[in-house]
């Protein structure tokens, strides 16, 4: 018995020693790589951490490059900005030969690779435009998990720079026609009005009848109004992409389309779970187990079957009548692909991948923008009223719904949207990989570095948005009413919530016009008031990381009927 115990203790000791040795080896290897990486970028001010990224900020492991720490990054950049301003003042750098980059805003966070963050317009412009050939999309690291039908089934978002991306661009770009944008505007109004009739008006009627605070199956009732459910905007934008993207009813506000409802439920499941399962666990056993548990594998199979059928139907229809007026995005995508030469055609899985990206970009981005607009307008009542006055002018005495032709006259509503996108870009950072050693401003960027173009920081800290009239943190749509200023900040890359250069979001017009249509219709009928007391920490609204950076779930907005 004693011999058995001694043997057991020996094996336990050996196992513990082995594990500790492996851990020590990993730590030493990490530290050696870290030291080597820091040596490559010693001239760039910055920090280090052991993990390349993380979900939350963890001292030493991932205090800087972590999801949800955009405010921390901005504070670090502000500190660097103050140092530079003092240095420029002391050395009178305005007379230096490098004035173009005297206000370069850059920090680096070294891990097993060098992560370099830029937040000034000149550096961002070099990366996106003038020296774009030195920077590529980090497809394998960040974008490959979007290739849900197979690793090789890329899309306009995930294709590597070069001939493959060009093939996607040639086929996808014709989808966003004026006719499609007109269809989208009609779909946006139908979905918004359906939300009013099926939910909001019922909630308001309930609030008038009871006059006390209570909860119903539709939502939270307060005196004279109800508390906004942020998911309402997800429903609206999903309904819009169903009609304008696929030409089908997703059955969100009605029970008329069981087929569309099944497709929508499958899409929603995949969007919610699939990316993170693939990002963290690749194609291994753990991901497959998680996909089975969340039923994402079944949802993906159902989604694939539906897309196969929809694409096949479009192909048959265009074979019979090449000029058939089908203006939804999927129809235009299929038509453009049929017109391509055989060696440039996209495969069936690539068509499906692009259709999936249409949903994510057309649904998530607009929904997130609307949520942030509700936050800003509900706490800036004068701005809300100015936007409403424009919406009422467009609608006239009969409160006519806006249409595509009205978009050109939505000056203030459009400025309000641009200002919200400035402070709250749905995608906080544009990520690139340095494919050859190059120089950005005064810094040498080693090959293999990961580049973060921090849109939120740049759009907050840029001198273009900080002057005697407005601070960068102010919500002031008036700054975008000047057309010359608007063009200046776009061309100079001070404002780039949709990225820039060749890889700029191909559907940016779709998203902007959709946002303005929905916002205009909302303001014609309702008023919004912020219930949060942001002087209290628990009531403060912050970014929540995800596919897009949404406002935190503690956001409470009171919706009342327009007086």
Give binding residues as ranges.
Answer: 505
Tokens at 233, concatenated = 């905007």
Tokens at 71, concatenated = 């405010």
Which residues carry a binding-site annotation for heme?
505
Q: Please state, in angstroms and rounded to a whole number, the distance separating the CA atoms of residues 503 and 528.
A: 36
Alpha helix segments (H runs only) across 221-345: 231-240, 246, 258-281, 285-293, 296-320, 329-339
Question: 550 pairs with which residues across the strands?
Answer: 544
Q: Please state, in angstroms and rounded to a whole number, the distance separating the CA atoms of residues 484 and 344.
A: 40
CA angle, 418 then 424 then 429, to 5°: 110
| DSSP assignments along 318-371, one per residue | HHH-TT----SHHHHHHHHHHHS-GGGPPPHHHHHHHHHHHHIIIIIHHHHHHH
| Torsion-angle region of 131 (φ positive above 0: left; ψ -120 to 50: alpha; else: beta) | alpha
| DSSP assignments along 158-217, one per residue | TSPTTHHHHHHHHHHGGGS-HHHHHHHHHHHHHHHHHHIIIIIHHHHHHHHHH-S-EE-S
Q: Which helix (H) or strand (E) holds 422?
A: helix 411-423
Closest CA to 266 of 221, 228, 297: 297
Rounded to the nearest 10 degrees, the angle between the axes of helix 365-379 and helix 381-395 is: 120
Handedness of CA 331, 332, 334, 339 (dihedral sign): positive
CA angle, 518 then 523 then 526, to 5°: 115
Tokens at 368, concatenated = 């997130």
Tokens at 420, concatenated = 């919200």
Contact 84, 11 (CB under 8 A): no
Q: Please state, in angstroms and rounded to a whole number, the distance separating the CA atoms of residues 264 and 311.
A: 16
| Beta strand pairing call for 220-222 and 429-434 | unpaired
């Amino acid at each position: 018995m004693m011999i058995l115990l001694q043997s057991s203790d020996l094996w336990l000791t050996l196992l513990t020693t082995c594990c500790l040795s492996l851990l020590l080896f990993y730590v030493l290897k990490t530290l050696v790589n870290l030291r080597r990486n820091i040596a490559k970028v010693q001239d760039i001010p910055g920090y280090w951490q052991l993990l390349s990224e993380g979900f939350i900020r963890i001292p030493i492991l991932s205090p800087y490059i972590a999801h949800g720490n955009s405010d921390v990054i901005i504070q670090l950049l502000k500190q660097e900005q103050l140092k530079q301003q003092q240095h420029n003042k002391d050395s009178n750098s305005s007379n230096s030969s490098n004035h173009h980059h005297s206000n370069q805003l850059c920090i680096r966070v070294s891990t097993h690779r060098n992560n370099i963050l830029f937040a000034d317009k000149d550096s961002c412009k070099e990366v996106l435009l003038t020296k774009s050939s030195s920077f590529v999309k980090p497809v394998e690291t960040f974008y490959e998990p979007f290739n849900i039908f197979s690793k090789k089934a890329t899309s306009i978002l995930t294709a590597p720079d070069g001939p493959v991306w060009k093939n996607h661009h040639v086929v996808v770009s014709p989808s966003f026609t004026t006719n499609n944008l007109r269809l989208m505007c009609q779909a946006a109004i139908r979905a918004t009005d359906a939300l009013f009739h099926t939910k909001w008006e019922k909630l308001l009627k309930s609030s008038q009848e009871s006059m006390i605070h209570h909860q119903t199956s539709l939502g939270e009732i307060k005196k004279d109004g109800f508390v906004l459910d942020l998911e309402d905007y997800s429903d609206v934008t999903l309904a819009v992409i169903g009609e304008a993207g696929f030409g089908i009813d997703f059955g969100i506000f009605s029970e008329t389309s069981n087929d569309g409802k099944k497709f929508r439920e499958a899409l929603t499941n995949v969007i919610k779970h699939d990316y993170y399962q693939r990002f963290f666990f690749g194609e291994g056993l753990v991901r497959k187990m998680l996909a089975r548990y969340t039923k994402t594998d079944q949802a993906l199979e159902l989604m694939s079957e539906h897309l196969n059928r929809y694409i096949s139907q479009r192909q048959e229809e265009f074979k019979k009548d090449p000029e058939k007026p089908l203006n939804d995005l999927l129809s235009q995508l299929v038509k453009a692909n049929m017109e391509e030469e055989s060696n440039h055609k996209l495969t069936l899985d690539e068509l499906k991948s692009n259709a999936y990206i249409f949903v994510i970009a057309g649904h998530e981005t607009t929904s997130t923008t609307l949520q942030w607009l509700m936050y800003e307008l509900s706490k800036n009542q004068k701005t809300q009223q100015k936007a409403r006055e424009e919406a009422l002018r467009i609608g006239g005495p009969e409160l006519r719904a806006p249409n595509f032709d009205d978009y050109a006259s939505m000056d203030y509503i459009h400025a309000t949207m641009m200002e919200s996108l400035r402070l709250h870009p749905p995608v906080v950072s544009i990520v690139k990989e340095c494919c050859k050693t190059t120089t950005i401003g005064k810094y040498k960027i080693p090959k293999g570095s990961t580049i973060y173009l921090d849109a939120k920081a740049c759009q907050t800290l840029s001198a273009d948005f900080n002057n005697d009239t407005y601070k960068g943190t102010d919500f002031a749509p008036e700054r975008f009413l000047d057309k010359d200023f608007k063009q200046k900040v776009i061309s100079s890359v001070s404002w780039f919530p949709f990225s820039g250069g060749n890889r700029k979001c191909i559907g940016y017009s779709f998203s902007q016009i959709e946002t303005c249509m929905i916002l205009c219709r909302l303001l014609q009928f309702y008023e919004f008031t912020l219930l949060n007391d942001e002087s209290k920490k628990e009531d403060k609204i912050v970014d929540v990381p995800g596919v897009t950076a949404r406002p935190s779930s503690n956001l409470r907005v009171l919706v009342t009927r327009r007086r």
